[in-house]
């Protein structure tokens, strides 16, 4: 998910693993230009790793590439920025190290695979990833019934209430999105790509704004990479 420099030639690599959740390991010598090992430990790379337990940090001893998703992402700015926002969000949503996070792992790999394949608009893939990773973390927004009273006559979307709200429960400052926008959010959360791919640009833009605000509210701080994600102009 992330790397940073250590000393003259090493890196500390933050990795989301299938079995052990988030871990950090030292990769020795990877900043030398001749290191092929280093390229396999770049962000967006799905790797098969071997590590051994060190005194303070675990040491990565071997890395074999399974899928280098970064190759497809670095040549396409919207896909690259969406992928960067995914990695940052996964890193932030998974707070503890060495706590199994299999569903977050599968969502992240699935999201990167979908971005690299380019079958759907990057922003839709990103918003689907945000909604599902929030749901796995326990923050799924209410989308088909009022978040407060379960009433079905929903009128607005209120982040503080946890999703859509009815006219009676609506707090001050709640957004009033179009019905199609809420339908798009629900489709992305459920993985209904036929509906999502057929959506209009203005509903996608409205959906992205709501999802980003909802995510950021739950993470308490801004997701830095989101600032670089290009938004389609509303039409």
The residues of the shown chain that bind Zn ion, judged by CB under 5 A, are: 146, 148-149, 151, 166, 169
Give the residue with the Cβ less far from Zn ion, 169 or 187: 169
25, β-bridge pairs: 13, 58
Q: How far apart (Å, rounded) are the C-alpha atoms in residues 22 and 10?
A: 20
Which residue number, 151 or 209, has a Cβ lying nearer to Zn ion?
151
CB of 155 to Zn ion, least distance (A): 9
Q: CA-to-CA distance for 195 and 177, rounded, in angstroms?
A: 17
User: Quick one: 92 or 170, whose CB is closer to Zn ion?
Assistant: 170
Least separation, in Å, of the C-beta of 169 and Zn ion? 3
Query: What six digits make up the tokens of 124?
Result: 């839709």
Shortest CB 158 distance to Zn ion, Å: 10
Answer positive or negative: Cα dihedral of 188, 192, 195, 196. Answer: positive
Q: Which is nearer to Zn ion, 79 or 148 (CB)?
A: 148
Q: Residue for token digits 């796995």?
A: 136
Radius of gyration of the chain (CA): 19
Q: What's the DSSP call for residue 173?
A: T
Q: How far is the CB of 151 from Zn ion (least distance, A)?
A: 4
Pair of tokens at residue 104:
């977050």
Residue 76 buriedness (CB in 10 A; 0-12 / 13-18 / 19+): middle
- At closest approach, how far in Å is the CB of 235 from Zn ion? 33
Q: Which is nearer to Zn ion, 22 or 148 (CB)?
A: 148
């Amino acid at each position: 998910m992330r790397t940073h420099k250590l000393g003259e030639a090493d890196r500390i690599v933050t990795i989301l693993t299938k079995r052990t959740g988030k871990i950090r390991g030292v990769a020795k010598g990877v900043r030398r230009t001749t290191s092929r090992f280093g390229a396999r430990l770049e962000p967006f790379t799905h790797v098969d790793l071997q590590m051994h337990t060190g005194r303070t940090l675990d040491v990565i001893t071997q890395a074999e590439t399974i899928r280098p998703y970064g190759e497809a992402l670095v040549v396409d700015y919207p896909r690259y920025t969406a992928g960067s926002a995914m990695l940052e969000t996964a890193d932030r949503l998974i707070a503890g190290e060495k706590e199994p996070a299999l569903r977050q792992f599968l969502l992240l790999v699935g999201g990167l695979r979908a971005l690299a394949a380019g079958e759907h608009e990057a922003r839709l893939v990103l918003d689907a990833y945000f909604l599902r990773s929030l749901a796995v973390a326990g923050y799924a927004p209410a989308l088909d019934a009022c978040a407060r009273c379960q009433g079905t006559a929903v009128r607005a979307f209120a982040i503080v209430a946890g999703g859509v709200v009815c006219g009676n429960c609506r707090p001050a400052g709640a957004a009033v999105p179009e019905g199609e926008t809420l339908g798009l959010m629900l489709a992305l959360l459920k993985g209904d790509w036929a509906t999502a791919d057929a959506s209009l640009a203005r509903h996608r833009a409205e959906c992205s704004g709501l999802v980003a605000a909802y995510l950021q509210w739950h993470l308490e701080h801004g997701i830095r990479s989101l600032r670089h994600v290009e938004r389609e102009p509303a039409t």
